[in-house]
Chains A and B, each alone.
Chain A
């Protein structure tokens, strides 16, 4: 069990009043709030250690380097990756996926090859592959969803073939909360010698990840969706794959020998971290992970499940409401209200202090598939409580009343 009241004390922003009402922050799938610990880590770093890494031999540079590299080890252990240098720091999931598309993709995808994505994908895990397929004259195949909002695994099996070079699938949908059976997706793809990338932007924030057990080839995370600062994120890749991939960005911090005409590159992880990275944010991200570990990912998942079930129970009492959520989905509850546009829903919810997202959620093909113009979405995290859900239901009642 989470001690939510104790947790809430770590998030000063939750004391804010919005339009005179208590804040019910239910837009966690976009980005989460940051606990005091994480904000303090940023300040501590800038006030005590700030310096560039991997460069100087002065004390501050050494301290910064040690802190930055210790964040890598923390993340490695958190995700149970085999090696610390299999963790490449990026700004976010979008950058991590583009890194794979421009390095692994450029090298290994050829004319006639196939890449498989799913209908659930966020644009971050769709457009880089569309563009790669265009550049390479490869084909993009799509695993459809079924009426129950889960992926159609029978069709997935049929899409797989010797031509499949990469399967890129989300670990959890930011729209429906669907959690695909990635273990099975990975196993099947490997039978065809295809590599697998899991977009973990949502999944890693809510579930214990064991990369060695999962055995995926790439995994991406966004620190800002799991209590970390914006600008913190990572790509995991298997060592042998990362070693074979060419660098992504070129510049300082990733070279062995440079002459006027030729350069040779360092090994992992520096090869993929050209330029001065988000040092402070990455170090503070470490604090976020430690905090999540303290609370326990299993506890977090249980807590979110309770809130999700409660929200569905309260919202489905209203006959005008349609909920888009599969059985056993994650802590994301998307809905529509008959005759009311989601932008209007979000505006009125905001009047009642309830922060929700409305729109197409960077997943246009999925919204199209659901045959609606857009969706309103509530998403939960560790500091949300039943009062937040009840406040949302109150806003829902008012919304329906206003448009009666």
Chain B
């Protein structure tokens, strides 16, 4: 069974960077109405770069594990680099095929992070 790889299950069961981030300066939340998944993101952005990232949320293993992995992946990246991230980057990071029915779950974290960056710029 490929979708539920060791790594995804590991991040789902032992999420990294889950919970509040005290000195965050960028926030956002997203919600997937079809499955009820919720993700909130808290970032610390300094000099156009992500220095810290935390998330919180409820939802399926794919959405939660992917988001948790992303909170590690994006550290040190510039805002432009994150804005340029897209579906292939997520699939690469996960290292698995994702069916069209589940791709939304895998992309929820990234879109929430992008939203936090946009909101931060306008703050």
Contact = CB atoms under 8 A, between A and B. Distances in A.
A358 interface: yes
B1 interface: yes
Given A341-B61, A343-B105, A373-B59, A402 B34 contact: no
A402 B1 contact: yes
B3 to A, nearest CB: 6
16 contacts: A341-B61, A342-B35, A343-B35, A343-B37, A343-B105, A344-B60, A344-B62, A347-B4, A348-B1, A348-B4, A359-B35, A359-B36, A360-B33, A373-B37, A373-B59, A403-B4
Interface of B: 1, 3-4, 9, 13, 33-37, 58-62, 99, 101-102, 105
B35 A360 contact: yes
A6 to B, nearest CB: 33
A336 to B, nearest CB: 12
Contact of B60 (A343, A360, A364): A343
Contact of B34 (A341, A351, A360): A360
B1 A341 contact: no
Nearest to B59: A341
B35 A402 contact: no
A360 B36 contact: yes
A359 B34 contact: yes
Given A360-B35, A402-B9, A343 B4 contact: no
A374 interface: yes
A376 to B, nearest CB: 11
A374 B61 CA distance: 14
B1 A351 contact: yes
A403 B9 contact: yes
A373 B101 CA distance: 18
Given A342-B60, A343-B37, 7 more contacts: A341-B61, A343-B105, A344-B4, A344-B60, A347-B4, A360-B33, A402-B4
Interface residues of A, number: 18
A398 B9 CA distance: 14
Contacts of A343: 35, 37, 59-60, 62, 102, 105
A403 B37 CA distance: 18
B102 A347 contact: yes
Contacts of B36: 359-360, 367, 373-374
A359 B105 CA distance: 12
Nearest to A367: B36
Given A341-B61, A343-B102, A374 B35 contact: yes
A320 to B, nearest CB: 15
Contacts of A341: 35, 37, 59-61
A344 B61 contact: yes
Interface centre among B34, B36, B62 (most CB of A within 10 A): B36
A340, A342, A347, A402 pick with most chain B CB within 10 angstroms: A347
A364 B31 CA distance: 14
A342 B105 CA distance: 12
A402 B65 CA distance: 15
Contacts of B101: 347
Contact of A358 (B13, B33, B35, B61): B35
Contacts of A367: 36
A398 B4 CA distance: 12
Contacts of B37: 341, 343, 373
Interface in A306-353: 340-344, 347-348, 351
A340 B3 CA distance: 14
Contacts of A364: 33
A304 B4 CA distance: 33
A127 to B, nearest CB: 14
A321 B9 CA distance: 20
B64 to A, nearest CB: 8
B95 to A, nearest CB: 17
Nearest to A352: B1
Contacts of B99: 347
Nearest to A360: B36
A374 B35 CA distance: 6
